[in-house]
Structure 1
Amino acid sequence: MNPCGTPDDTGLLLTSADVRRLAADIGLRPTKTLGQNFVVDAGTVRRIARASGVGSDDTVVEVGPGLGSLTLALLARAGHVTAIEADPDLAEALPGTVRRRAGALAGKLDVVTADALRVTRLPGPEPTAMVANLPYNVAVPVVLHLLELLPSLRHVLVMVQSEVADRLAAAPGSRTYGVPSAKAAWYAEVRRAGAVSRNVFWPVPHVDSGLVELRRRAPVATTASRAEVFAVIDAAFAQRRKTLRSALSAWAGSASAAEQALRAAGVDPGARGEALDVTAFARIAEHGPGG
């Protein structure tokens, strides 16, 4: 620890040259398919680790640790880190990188070689936090999957494409509010936690990124299941320009049945999905075909 009481990462974090050397050592050429854009700016890594708020009592899940830039910063703060990496070459190399740069921290790391969307259980202590740099094409499904799979997760901080960050954190009535916003709200209070320049990545992507913070909240009070509520959300936004009476007709069995469910839920059949919060979707689900 430094005199200010924060972890001392002097000589610990990867530089831009370190990242490129590690990639060359394993013959890695970053691919768009896997969304491989690695953070090469230590200042950004410090900022993310600090913003995550994790401490020695936390077990952190990191998805897509890549070459270990963020992993090292998290190990300096957290009690334990479980890193989920889909690329077997990266997963194999990560423990060695940690041993060489911070041998005393190596025992706090578990590496799981898997697609995060297919993970059904994790080794080690129950995770309390998730911190990750997520590829934009899987960001929302990964966040939702792990919030459902790991009820012990209390706090999530993810770096995602700026547009995805806007969608996750959008409030009802806004232009960007939709399926990701409503489903994330089922689990947590969500907010934008800052912007990240494209220039801190290698290779440099074509878009900027944003940080999104999710803090788990009390479950929505409803007799409907998560699957039932999510089915309403999906139907409401499948044709977002239509009124809910029309958009939910297939879900309810007919337009008249949809109107009946909406009125029973206290929702205007002429409204559109973007006007509703997750509790309204839950009320509709309670009066739907399975309610």
Structure 2
Amino acid sequence: MQKVKPKKHLGQHFLKDMNAAERIVNLLSRHKNYTKVLEIGPGMGVLTQFLLKKTDYQTSVVEIDTESVAYLNTHFADLGDRIFSEDFLKMNLANLKGFDSTEPMAIIGNFPYNISSQIFFKVLEHKDTVVEVVCMLQKEVAKRIASPPGNKDYGILSVLLQAFYDIKYEFTVLPGAFNPPPKVDSGVISLRRNAIDKLECDEKKFFQVVKAGFNQRRKTLRNALKPIGLNFEHELLNKRAEQLGVAEFVLLTKAFTEN
């Protein structure tokens, strides 16, 4: 079978650097002792081949491109019924065949640039079971997610993900490592679930406060939060969203809820 042709509308850039692929797979640390691994967008299986060498993992893959699915079925027959021809964003992870909704799992992949943020919001929905994520995405987004407070890269996803995951920027992958080469560098990050089971505030309100704060990030939080009904005083309101860490956003959310 011929190689799969990368499709622009799916944001496909196939990794061809085997050293980078093996390095990405080796970042999986078995955090919280999972055995189930779900790879998003395997394409022609450059990561998959290294995942399958890890015999203590049960690797499954989800791929929306039917041409890639046909290639995987031919070249990775060992996966059997663990090739899901679906859109990850529409999948019900709780009912995924071979996965227990209470069992820890890891997600890995070369995420399409155009849906990487949506993938992370879905990860947050399943934060109780997704205990580790290792992924490659646009370097700018990867840096943003891993960025600490006080940095211009720090944003909504930084706070929401850092509330529940310890995040590390691992390494950069240059355009020449892909077919076709993207126009920007890529970054690999790892996310490992922290000890926070539940925030000490209303989580929906927390998300609302974080999003509102960064939607007008140049303004102080006193002004940025007015659209969602701010009507109280707090010392943190004199700061801008990018100056607050997760704990401070929790404090502000508690004050917001109580007033």
Same fold (TM over 0.5): yes
Q: For residue 44 of structure 2, what is the aligned residue in structure 1?
A: 67
SS in 2 for 1:130: strand
State the Cα deviation string for residues 192-249 of structure 1 (Å, max 9, x = none): 0111121110011111111111110022764433221111110000010000000001
Q: Is the 8 A contact 1:59 1:129 kept in 2?
A: yes
Aligned-partner residue type, residue 83 of structure 2: V
- Rg: which structure is higher? 1
Name the SS of the counterpart of 2:37 in structure 1.
strand
Maintained 8 Å contact 2:206/2:253? yes
Q: How many residues align?
A: 252
CA distance in 2 between counterparts of 1:241 and 1:220 reads 32
Aligned to 1:123: 97
Partner Cα distance (1:287, 1:268) in 2: 10
1:44 aligns with 2:44: no
**1:98 paired to 2:66:** no
Query: Paired residue for 2:224, among 247, 258, 261?
Result: 247
Gaps of 5+ in 2: none
Rounded to whole Å, the distance in 2 between the matches of 1:147 and 1:70 is 23
Give the aligned partner of residue 214 of structure 1: 191
* CA RMSD, Structure 1 to Structure 2 (Å): 2.3
User: Following the alignment from structure 2 to structure 1, what is the Cα–Cα distance between the partners of residues 19 and 199?
Assistant: 44
Residue range with higher mean Cα deviation, 34-43 or 75-84: 75-84
Q: SS at 1:176's partner residue?
A: coil
Q: Which consecutive unaligned segments of at least 5 residues does structure 1 have?
A: 1-17, 100-104
Report if the CA contact (8 A) 1:222-1:286 is conserved.
no
The answer to whether the 8 A contact 2:236-2:252 is kept is: no
CA distance in 2, matches of 1:191, 1:222: 21
Residue 132 of structure 1 aligns with an amino acid whose one-letter code is G
| 2:111 alignment partner in structure 1 | 134
1:73-112 aligned at under 5 Å gives the runs: 73-77=50-54, 78-99=56-77, 105-107=78-80, 110-112=82-84
Structure 1 residue 282: deviation in Å?
Answer: 1.9
Give the TM-score normalised by structure 2.
Answer: 0.89
In structure 2, how many angstroms separate the alpha carbons of the residues matched to 1:134 and 1:268?
A: 35
Q: After superposition, what is the alpha-carbon deviation per residue over 1:42-101, rounded to whole angstroms, capped at 9, x for unaligned?
A: 1221111112235996211111111111111111114211211122232233122112xx
Show CA shifts across 1:163-186 (max 9, x none). 011101000001100111011112
- Normalised to the residue count of structure 1, the TM-score between the two structures is 0.79
Conservation of the 8 A alpha-carbon contact between 1:222 and 1:283:
no
Bigger relative contact order (CA 8 A; separation at least 6): 2
Deviations 1:236-275 (A, max 9, x none): 0001000000000111x24xx0x43xx1xxx422100001
What's the counterpart of residue 14 of structure 1?
none
Tell me how far apart the structure 2 counterparts of residues 277 and 220 of structure 1 sit (CA, whole Å): 18
Contact 1:85 1:115 in 2 (8 A): yes
Shift of 1:119: 1.5
Select 1:201's aligned residue among 153, 173, 178.
178
Determine if contact 2:35/2:57 at 8 Å carries over to the other structure. Answer: yes
1:225 aligns with 2:225: no
Identify the residue that residue 3 of structure 1 maps to in structure 2.
none
Change (3 A) 1:281 1:150: closer
Contact 1:117 1:142 in 2 (8 A): yes
Indicate the larger mover: 280-289 or 232-241.
Answer: 280-289
Task: Report the secondary structure of 2:207's partner residue.
Answer: helix
Distance 2:149 2:180 in 1: 35
Deviation at 1:33, TM superposition (A): 2.1
The 8 Å contact of residues 138 and 187 in structure 2, kept in 1 or not, is answered as yes
Matched, 1:32 2:4: no
Question: 1:60–1:127: 8 Å Cα contact kept in structure 2?
Answer: no
Match of 1:13 in 2: none
Given residue 92 of structure 2, which amino acid in structure 1 is its aligned partner?
T
Percent identity between the aligned chains? 32
Q: Take 1:187 and 1:287, find their aligned partners in 2: how far apart are those partners?
A: 21
Aligned equivalent of 2:239: 271
